[in-house]
């Protein structure tokens, strides 16, 4: 008799379904697992045999052959233990096969269930395949949005799983984060007001943050040390609206791969890698492969503090995801396309010492040229907003902040602007432009001899400016402001 069960494994960065087949036949006792199992999967034979014995379950005396489909996919990890055990029990006729049910857990020698690695990503893949019930080991609370996709059952032992499948008593569902804390709540509105409002007399910089957040325009702050570049950059994440449940789950699944202690949150991610980051660390690498910073920052902010200190190769690797919102990673003969729609914000000094144009600069001219050569021209061309910051006059900045509604209004404006921009046709950059605005755009582009990319980016920038003012139609003043923002800092 043939027994079957469904599970899933990590295939590098992605998750894949695994169909477990178990055949018990007469002959010399032997337990074989085929289908490209790794060492951890092969060792399941010993764990399963001991688990059966300690749970008082009869272990088959004949020849056991377990096949893991698809056979061409290498199976890694110990999360297949429970599915293999269930397939064997079904092959023995002890359990009846139930459709749309999957199993994901490691077995201890005493029959206890141990959580599999990065369960959320695997559960998401199973839910996409139509699985309605998933048996797992007790562990951290499952995110509420995932618990709404399928019935997730927590079982402590193999005996408990068998009892639940045999008698089908009321199952013990895994506790979900339906009552999440403020950081993860869908109605999160608890971002402290002083996060942005503590920065007084920075109205222009706050508008730049709002434009960047609304239209996902890359932003670069340049200025001397201590002027507030990094502080402003950290405030950008506060203007972004909460993620949808689907986006938050996908983001959490990627973060769980690199950090088992990652916390589920509906807030957009903020990634701030060190300047020693390699191109592989940015795009994704490792054995097995793991998502890079551009994927971990998907739907959030990628902050490069002192970005000119990053290697030129690392900065060059940003060009593809900035343009397409996707990163293609090739490892071990396989190619994976991962989301990388992040909002880039960077900070930089104007020269190695940091005081060029602001005070007494100690740098030689060739040192300044070499410093700026670290940032590739094509990358700078893709940054829509470059702003040179000046110091706020003494006595005008209030470090304690004031609880004025500016930050709240900015967040509302960004959310409303995104709602206006979402249905816009990306293939038609001048759609919804007034005729005079189109003429102004054409005139300025011809006058400045800019590239086609700059024309499209300027049109998108003008559209974002109009959306922030709650307008669908783009006017001449929007085009003029867009050109001013793009060209004023490119000196």
Cβ–Cβ under 8 Å, residues 262 and 254: no
- In whole angstroms, give the CA distance from residue 223 to residue 265: 33
Model confidence at 184, in pLDDT bands (50, 70, 90)? very low
- In b/e form, how buried is each residue of 376-412, taking b as 16+ CB within 10 angstroms? eeebeebbbbbbbbeeeeeeeeeeebeeeebbeebbe
Cβ–Cβ under 8 Å, residues 326 and 339: yes
pLDDT of 4 over the 60 cut: yes
pLDDT of 198 over the 70 cut: no
Q: Provide the whole-model pTM.
A: 0.87
Parts of the chain belonging to CATH 3.30.230.10: 2-167
| Residue, of 422 and 258, whose pLDDT is higher | 258
Parts of the chain belonging to CATH 3.40.50.300: 194-401
The per-residue pLDDT for 189 is 41
Q: What DSSP character marks residue 308?
A: G
The per-residue pLDDT for 389 is 87
Model confidence at 108, in pLDDT bands (50, 70, 90)? very high
| 3-state DSSP percent of the chain in helix, strand and coil, to 5 | 40, 20, 40
- In whole angstroms, give the CA distance from residue 15 to residue 395: 55
CA distances from 237 to 319, 409, 420 (A): 22, 15, 20
* H or E segment to which residue 20 belongs: strand 14-25
Dihedrals phi, psi of 5, to nearest 5 degrees: -155, 160
Range with the poorest average pLDDT among 85-89, 143-147, 283-287, 378-382? 283-287
Report angle CA 42, 46, 47 to the nearest 5 degrees.
Answer: 100
Return the bridge partners of 114, or none: 106
The per-residue pLDDT for 445 is 75
DSSP for 436-479 reads HHHHHHHHHHHHHT--HHHHHHHHHHHHHHHHHTT-SSB-HHHH
pLDDT of 251 over the 70 cut: yes
Which two structure tokens, joined as six digits, stand for 243? 């993620």
pLDDT of 80 over the 70 cut: yes
> Over the stretch 453-476, which tens digit does the pLDDT of each residue have?
888 888 899 999 999 999 888 899
Parts of the chain belonging to CATH 1.10.8: 423-491
Return the bridge partners of 329, or none: 336
For 423-491, CATH gives: 1.10.8
Mean pLDDT, residues 370-382 taken together: 89
Residue where the block lists tokens 């489909």: 69
Burial level of 432, CB count in 10 A (0-12/13-18/19+)?
Answer: middle
Model confidence at 488, in pLDDT bands (50, 70, 90)? low
Range with the poorest average pLDDT among 237-246, 292-301, 304-313, 390-399? 390-399
Assigned superfamily of 194-401: P-loop containing nucleotide triphosphate hydrolases (3.40.50.300)
- In whole angstroms, give the CA distance from residue 44 to residue 400: 59
Bridge pairing between strands 113-114 and 106-107? antiparallel
Which two structure tokens, joined as six digits, stand for 254? 């990627």
Cβ neighbour number for residue 59 with a 10 Å cutoff: 15
> Over the stretch 116-142, which tens digit does the pLDDT of each residue have?
988 999 999 999 999 999 999 998 888
Cβ–Cβ under 8 Å, residues 354 and 389: no
Mean pLDDT, residues 435-440 taken together: 85
Model confidence at 157, in pLDDT bands (50, 70, 90)? very high
Radius of gyration of the chain (CA): 28
CATH architecture for the domain at 2-167 = 2-Layer Sandwich (3.30)
Preceding amide of 70 cis, omega within 30: yes
- In whole angstroms, give the CA distance from residue 145 to residue 264: 10
DSSP, collapsed to helix, strand or coil, labels residue 176 as strand
Which two structure tokens, joined as six digits, stand for 352? 């190695």
Q: Which of 69, 62, 63, 71 is nearest to 83 (CA)?
A: 69
Chain centre distance of CA 287:
20
pLDDT of 42 over the 90 cut: yes
Which two structure tokens, joined as six digits, stand for 418? 């995104």
Packed helices 229-239 and 203-215: angle between N→C axes, nearest 10 degrees: 50
The per-residue pLDDT for 197 is 64
pLDDT of 168 over the 90 cut: no
């Amino acid at each position: 008799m043939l027994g079957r069960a469904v599970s899933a494994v990590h295939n590098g960065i992605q998750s894949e379904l695994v169909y477990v087949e178990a055949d018990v036949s007469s002959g010399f006792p032997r337990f074989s697992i085929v289908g490209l199992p790794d060492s951890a999967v092969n060792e399941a034979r010993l764990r399963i045999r001991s688990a059966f014995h300690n749970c008082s379950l009869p272990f088959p005396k004949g020849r056991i052959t377990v096949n893991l489909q698809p056979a061409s996919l290498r199976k890694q990890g110990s999360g297949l233990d429970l599915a293999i055990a269930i397939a064997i029990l079904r092959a023995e006729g002890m359990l009846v096969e139930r459709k749309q049910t999957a199993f994901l857990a490691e077995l201890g020698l005493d029959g206890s269930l141990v959580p599999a690695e990065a369960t959320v990503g695997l559960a998401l893949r199973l839910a996409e395949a139509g699985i309605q019930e998933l048996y797992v080991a007790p562990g951290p609370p499952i995110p509420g949005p995932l618990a709404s996709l399928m019935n997730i059952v927590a079982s402590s032992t193999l005996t408990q799983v068998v009892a639940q499948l045999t008698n089908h008593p009321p199952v013990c569902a895994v506790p979900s984060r339906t009552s999440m804390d403020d950081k993860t709540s869908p109605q999160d509105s608890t971002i402290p007001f002083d996060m942005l409002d503590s920065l007084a007399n920075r109205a222009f910089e706050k508008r730049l943050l709002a434009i960047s957040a609304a239209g996902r325009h890359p932003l670069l702050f340049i200025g001397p040390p201590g002027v507030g570049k990094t502080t402003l950059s950290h405030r950008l994440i506060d203007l972004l609206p909460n993620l949808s449940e689907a986006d938050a789950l996908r983001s959490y699944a990627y973060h769980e791969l690199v950090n088992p202690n990652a916390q589920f949150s509906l807030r957009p991610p903020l990634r701030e890698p060190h300047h020693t980051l390699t191109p592989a660390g940015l795009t994704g690498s490792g054995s097995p492969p793991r998502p890079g910073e551009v994927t971990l920052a998907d739907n959030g902010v990628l902050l490069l503090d002192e970005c000119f200190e990053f290697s030129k190769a690392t900065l060059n690797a940003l060009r593809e995801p900035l343009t397409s919102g996707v990163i293609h990673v090739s490892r071990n003969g396989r190619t994976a396309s991962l989301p990388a729609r992040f909002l880039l914000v960077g900070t930089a000094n104007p020269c190695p010492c940091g005081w060029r144009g602001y005070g007494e600069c100690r740098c030689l001219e060739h040192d300044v040229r070499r410093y700026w050569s670290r940032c590739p021209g094509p990358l700078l061309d893709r940054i829509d907003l470059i702003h040179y910051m000046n110091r706020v006059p003494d006595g005008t900045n209030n470090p304690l902040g004031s609880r004025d509604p500016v930050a709240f209004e900015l967040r509302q404006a960004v959310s409303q602007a995104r709602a206006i921009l979402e249905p816009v046709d990306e293939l038609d950059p001048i759609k919804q432009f007034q005729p005079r605005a189109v003429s102004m755009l054409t005139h300025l582009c011809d006058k400045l001899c800019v590239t086609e990319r700059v024309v499209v980016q300027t049109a998108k920038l003008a559209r974002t400016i109009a959306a922030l003012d709650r307008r669908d139609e783009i006017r001449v003043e929007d085009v003029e402001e867009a050109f001013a923002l793009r060209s004023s800092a490119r000196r």
